[in-house]
Amino acid sequence: MILASASNVLVWMVWVVAAAACLASGVAVISFSNPFYSALALMGNLGSLAVLYLLLSAEFVAAAQVLVYAGAVMVMFLFVIAYLGGKADAPWTGHVAVQTWAAVVAAGALLVEVVLVIAGQADGHLADAADIQSSFGSPAEIGRLFLTDQLLAFEVTSVVLLVAAVGGVILGSHSRAATPEGDDDAGA
Amino acid sequence: MLGPDTAAYLIIAAFLFTTGALGVLIRRSPLIVLLSLEIMLNGGNLALIAFSRHFASGDGQIFAIAVMAVAASEVVVGLGLIVAMARKHLDLDVDKLSSLRG
Q: What is the DSSP string of A133-187?
A: -TTTT-HHHHHHHHHTTTHHHHHHHHHHHHHHHHHHHHHHHHHHHTTTTTSS-TT
Residue B92 lies in a domain: no
Instruction: Identify all chain A residues contacting B78, using CB atoms and an 8 Å cutoff.
Output: none
Q: Which domain holds residue B74?
A: 6-87
Number of other CB atoms surrounding residue B8 within 10 Å: 18
Instruction: Identify all chain B residues contacting A161, using CB atoms and an 8 Å cutoff.
Output: 69, 72-73
Model's pTM, two decimal places? 0.88
| Amino acid at site B36 | S
Inter-chain residue contact A136 with B56, CB threshold 8 Å: yes
Min distance B91 CA to chain A CA atoms (Å): 11
The structural domain count of chain B equals 1
CA–CA dist B13, A80 (Å, integer): 28
ipTM: 0.91
**CB-based contact (8 Å) between B97 and chain A?**
no
The domains located in chain A, with CATH, are: 1-91 (1.20.120.1200)
Residue B96 lies in a domain: no
Q: Percent of chain B, pLDDT > 70?
A: 99
Comparing C-alpha atoms, which of A41, A88, A145 is closest to residue B26?
A88
Residue B100 lies in a domain: no
CATH code of residue B52: 1.10.287.3510
* Span A54-71, pLDDT tens digits: 999 999 999 999 998 888
Residue B38 lies in a domain: yes
* Span A23-49, pLDDT tens digits: 999 999 999 988 999 999 999 999 999
* Span A158-179, pLDDT tens digits: 999 999 999 999 988 865 555 5
Inter-chain residue contact A126 with B6, CB threshold 8 Å: yes
**CB-based contact (8 Å) between A48 and chain B?**
no
Number of other CB atoms surrounding residue A96 within 10 Å: 12
Inter-chain residue contact B27 with A30, CB threshold 8 Å: yes
**CB-based contact (8 Å) between A165 and chain B?**
yes
Instruction: Identify all chain A residues contacting B94, using CB atoms and an 8 Å cutoff.
Output: none
pLDDT at A139 over 70: yes
Q: DSSP labels for A39-65?
A: HHHHHHHHHHHHHHHHHTT-HHHHHHI
Cα torsion through A143, A145, A151, A154, rounded to 10: -50
Residue B70 lies in a domain: yes
CA distances from A144 to A177, B46, B62 (A): 45, 22, 11
**Range B89-101 burial, b when 16+ CB lie within 10 A, else e:** eeebeeeeeeeee
* Span B79-102, pLDDT tens digits: 998 988 888 888 888 878 877 776
Instruction: Identify all chain B residues contacting A172, using CB atoms and an 8 Å cutoff.
Output: 80, 83-84
Residue B50 lies in a domain: yes
Inter-chain residue contact A103 with B18, CB threshold 8 Å: no
Instruction: Identify all chain A residues contacting B65, using CB atoms and an 8 Å cutoff.
Output: 61, 64, 142, 157
Residue B1 lies in a domain: no
Instruction: Output the CA angle A52-A54-A55, nearest 5 degrees.
Output: 65
Residue B95 lies in a domain: no
Inter-chain residue contact B88 with A136, CB threshold 8 Å: no
CA–CA dist B23, B18 (Å, integer): 9
CA–CA dist A127, A111 (Å, integer): 21
Inter-chain residue contact B73 with A111, CB threshold 8 Å: no
Inter-chain residue contact B87 with A184, CB threshold 8 Å: yes
